[in-house]
């Protein structure tokens, strides 16, 4: 491993660990685009998931002065601390992000999440963030492009599915820009993309029972070729689907997010 000299705030190099799905961003053009998209302002509470070699961490710290980083790889903690010491205050939480209470980390306020998420854990991390959406102002994540495509897809798209509905039910999801494999060290085998997620105000969600909504959406997309009548047979019958204003012979990929919410709410007493 090599690191910056005298903590001068430059990123260091470290071998990527395949078991942790590490691909470190190295291209300055995309680093600048991510930092510009986040655009930190005074008073923001920035939290980065998986800072890696500090490619995004250090520029954000230089812009903002303070940042909390959640890092699982123990070998990266000391060089991160060293690289950051002359440019700002870096708080490092050594933990699996799925075990971090993001609401507690927000301390009664709201945090802004940033991260180049490990591709093998992106969906669990996204749903973990949703569990703490009330404590999050916004999220800027880099993931596989195909995952971002699914996140932002609308009804009728071939990639519109459970991830699309569940994320859009709670957040405004906007795909920002793509990042090619060559921007990373080592380069992944797929394209990446950066996405912005802004949690909706709790009062505007209109979701009576989050667990029931999850059940309905999971069942609806469990077998995409099936009609709602068949896919939801273990959740409700055709009359309940019709009562919610939906056609039992429709398929899940044709249904708007708001319609899934309305159907789930109509089943609250069953």
pLDDT in tens, 29-39: 999 999 999 99
81 and 135 share one domain: yes
The domain in which residue 253 lies consists of: 210-266
Token reading at 267? 């089943």
Q: ω into residue 3 within 30 of 0, thus cis?
A: no
List all residues 6 or more positions away from 203 whose beta carbon is below 8 Å from its beta carbon.
none
pLDDT confidence band for 197 (50 / 70 / 90): very high
Rounded CA-CA distance 125/99 in Å is 10
Candidate from 17-21, 106-110, 149-153 with smallest mean pLDDT: 17-21
Q: What is the pTM of this model?
A: 0.90
CA 82 → CA 58, 73, 86, 87, 116, distances in Å?
11, 15, 8, 10, 21
120 and 101 share one domain: yes
Q: Tell me if 23 is assigned to a ligand binding site.
A: yes
149 and 222 share one domain: no
Domain C-terminal end among 149, 179, 202: 202
218 and 196 share one domain: no
Q: What is the CA radius of gyration of the chain?
A: 20
Task: Classify burial at 189, counting beta carbons within 10 Å of its beta carbon; exposed 0-12, middle 13-18, buried 19 or more.
Answer: exposed
CB 194 within 8 A of CB 152: no
Candidate from 72-76, 99-103, 146-150 with smallest mean pLDDT: 72-76
pLDDT confidence band for 261 (50 / 70 / 90): very high
Number of domains in the chain: 2
Cα of 226 vs its chain's centroid, Å: 29
Q: Tell me if 71 is assigned to a ligand binding site.
A: yes
86 and 180 share one domain: yes
125 and 151 share one domain: yes
Q: What is the pLDDT of residues 162-173, one digit of tens each?
A: 999 999 999 999
| CATH code where residue 84 lies | 3.40.50.150
18 and 124 share one domain: yes
Q: Tell me if 50 is assigned to a ligand binding site.
A: yes
87 and 113 share one domain: yes
C-beta neighbour count of 104 within 10 angstroms: 10
159 and 253 share one domain: no
Residue with more model confidence, 136 or 121: 136
192 and 214 share one domain: no
Q: Tell me if 96 is assigned to a ligand binding site.
A: yes
Q: Tell me if 269 is assigned to a ligand binding site.
A: no
Q: Tell me if 91 is assigned to a ligand binding site.
A: no
């Amino acid at each position: 491993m090599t690191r910056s000299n005298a903590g001068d705030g430059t990123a260091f190099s470290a071998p990527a660990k395949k078991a942790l799905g590490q691909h470190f961003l190295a291209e300055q053009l995309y680093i600048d685009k991510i930092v510009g998209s986040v655009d930190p302002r005074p008073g923001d509470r920035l939290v980065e998931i998986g800072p890696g070699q500090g490619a995004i961490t250090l520029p954000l710290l230089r812009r903002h002065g303070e940042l909390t980083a959640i890092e699982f790889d123990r070998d990266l903690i000391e060089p991160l601390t060293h690289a950051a010491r002359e440019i700002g205050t870096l708080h490092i939480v050594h933990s699996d992000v799925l075990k971090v209470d993001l609401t507690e980390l927000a301390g009664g306020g709201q945090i802004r999440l940033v991260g180049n998420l490990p591709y093998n854990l992106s969906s669990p991390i996204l749903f973990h963030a949703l569990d703490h959406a009330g404590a999050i102002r916004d999220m800027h994540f880099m993931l596989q492009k195909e995952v971002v495509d699914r996140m932002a897809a609308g009804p009728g798209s071939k990639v519109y599915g459970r991830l699309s509905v569940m994320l859009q039910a709670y957040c405004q999801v906007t795909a920002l820009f793509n990042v090619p494999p060559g921007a990373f060290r080592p380069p992944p085998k797929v394209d990446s993309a950066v996405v912005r997620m802004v949690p909706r105000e709790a009062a505007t969600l209109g979701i009576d029972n989050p667990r029931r909504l999850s059940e309905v959406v999971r069942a609806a997309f469990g077998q995409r070729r099936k009609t709602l009548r068949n896919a939801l047979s273990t959740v409700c019958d055709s009359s309940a689907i019709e009562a919610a204003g939906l056609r039992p012979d429709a398929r899940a990929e044709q249904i708007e997010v708001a319609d899934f919410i309305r159907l789930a709410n109509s089943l609250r007493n069953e």
